[in-house]
Amino acid sequence: GNSVTQMEGPVTLSEEAFLTINCTYTATGYPSLFWYVQYPGEGLQLLLKATKADDKGSNKGFEATYRKETTSFHLEKGSVQVSDSAVYFCALSEDSNYQLIWGAGTKLIIKP
Amino acid sequence: NAGVTQTPKFQVLKTGQSMTLQCAQDMNHNSMYWYRQDPGMGLRLIYYSASEGTTDKGEVPNGYNVSRLNKREFSLRLESAAPSQTSVYFCASSLGQGGWTQYFGPGTRLLVL
């Protein structure tokens, strides 16, 4: 079946460091891929998405490229801030299915 | 435009008690979802409603029931709460299936003693 695997956290970085959170997936078709973010005490919100191979999603300085050849959708940011501290979830969805398949989430801690 | 709202924000129940979690969206979305979030387990889908008048089981439906009251509202009921249902519950909605973005409510924190 479909699945999403994220790197385990927590990931702890200093402010202005480069961030990569790995996400790989297995899917039978051509899914859409998402990154959601959950700030402390809040619900999840969409950070970025990509709907086909080689698409790059970007938002708030974060980027992720849909790589079909490596079945990956890694999240990157060039210079993180303390305010980026949150839990990041990778997810996929098949167009024919109402369900999102979620990764376990990666907690990111940014120290000043 | 409030997006997705949930009530209550926090609830404590005793084992065997019942309660209903309420969810409403004002974005004219067709699809609505109930998730639970437990430490280290990510999000797990309890039930979803693809459109008004339909509901389907997700990954962990046991112990729960749902009602899609109308296009705006989707409630989750625990008939006889158990400590294993202690969790944070999120409601979400989306315009349609597949690649549509899901919009989440702020969550309900439930503690079952």
Integer Cα distance of B45 and B48 in angstroms: 8
With beta carbons less than 8 A apart as the criterion, state whether B28 and B71 touch.
yes
Contact call for B107 and A45, based on CB within 8 A:
no
Long-range pairs, A60-69, Cβ under 8 A, ≥24: A62/A35, A64/A23, A64/A33, A64/A35, A66/A33
Q: Kindly identify which residue of chain B lies nearest to residue A9, measuring between CA atoms.
A: B40
B21-49 pLDDT, tens digit each: 999 999 999 999 999 999 877 899 999 99
Q: What one-letter code names the amino acid at B35?
A: Y
Q: Does A2 touch chain B (CB under 8 A)?
A: no
Instruction: Kindly report the number of other CB atoms within 10 A of residue B12's CB atom.
Output: 11
CB pairs under 8 A between A and B: 59
User: pLDDT tens for residues B54-87?
Assistant: 999 999 999 999 999 899 999 999 999 999 999 9
Q: What does the pLDDT look like over A19-75, one tens digit per residue? A: 999 999 999 888 999 999 999 988 899 999 999 999 999 999 999 999 999 999 999
Name chain B contacts of A103, Cβ cutoff 8 Å: 42
Could you tell me the two tokens for B30? 């067709």
